[in-house]
Amino acid sequence: MRKKIVAGNWKMNKTFEAGLQLVDEIIKELDAQPASEVLKIIAPPYIHLAAIAEKVILLNEFGVASQNCHHLANGAYTGEVSTEMIVSTGAKYVIVGHSERRLYFAENSELLSQKVDIALKNNLTPIFCIGENLAERNADKHLETVLKQLSDATFHLSASDFGRLIIAYEPVWAIGTGVTATTEQAQSMHKYIRSEINKKYGAEVSSSISILYGGSCNAQNAKELFACEDVDGGLIGGAALKAPDFVTIINSFPA
């Protein structure tokens, strides 16, 4: 059975103290809820990684992710953070290929491939993001775009290594816009992604890999999205910054 996952990407938000307070609020909200088998991942800015990992390390089904990593092991790269450094904080996941990194920092598939490789080498689980922009969707090139992003950066992996990934589909036109893909659009794309993974790696890998939806998923629409057969959870942006909303999303999976 595929893992149900809700990952909260804080992006460039929250001071150190405010971030720790938010985690405390999330934990408190969850304590008041029935036990859940959902994997809950928090992806804060670098400054929070070690402190949050320490808070959640003993909590069931909790993990911490870095929002990015460098593609090399070490060196004279001022301002960058290596996968080895990330692992040393207690984090076990790393977001790779987020659309904002692709857009604002010109990250291409060659670079992202290297990031995936070095993350896996250091036992970090990549949350690998793919998704089309509005022009590509309107030009009916969304399937082509998503497959190219996925295949160019990850299809060099062995089946066992690919199976360690978490995939996040994030239609760029729906990120931070308040616009969400319809359940039909989300399910159709997730099913397509899984079918292409099946062609490359077979049914065992494709049926076991979690594919998250990452486009303006919130407390109001998560239940409908998570009811889709091939949607295994969400990569959450703005709603992850509010403890009640984040916990509502965590509890939005069908019984």
Per-residue pLDDT of the chain (255 residues; tens, 9 = 90+): 899 999 999 999 999 999 999 999 999 999 877 667 999 999 999 999 999 999 998 888 999 999 999 999 999 999 999 999 999 999 999 999 999 999 999 999 999 999 999 999 999 999 999 999 989 999 999 999 999 999 999 999 999 999 999 999 999 988 777 777 899 999 999 999 999 999 999 999 999 999 999 988 999 999 999 999 999 999 999 999 999 999 999 999 998
DSSP 32-95: TS-----EEEEE--GGGHHHHHHHHTTSTTEEEEES---SSSSSS-TT---HHHHHHTT--EEE
pTM: 0.96
pLDDT reported for residue 198: 98
Whether residue 206 contacts residue 252, with contact meaning beta carbons closer than 8 Å, is answered with: no
Which contacts (CB < 8 Å, 24+ apart) does range 138-143 have? 142/171, 142/189, 143/189, 143/192
Question: Domain segments of the chain: what residues?
Answer: 5-250
Helical spans, DSSP H, in 105-219: 109-121, 134-138, 142-154, 159-162, 183-201, 203-208
Catalytic residue among 48, 98, 142, 190: 98
How many CB atoms lie under 10 A from the CB of residue 26?
23
pLDDT reported for residue 201: 98
Greatest CA span in the chain, whole angstroms? 50
Angstrom distance (rounded) from CA 6 to CA 39:
6
**Which CATH superfamily does the domain covering 5-250 fall into?**
Aldolase class I (3.20.20.70)
Helix (H, G, I), strand (E, B) or coil at 168: strand
Active-site annotation holds for 170? yes
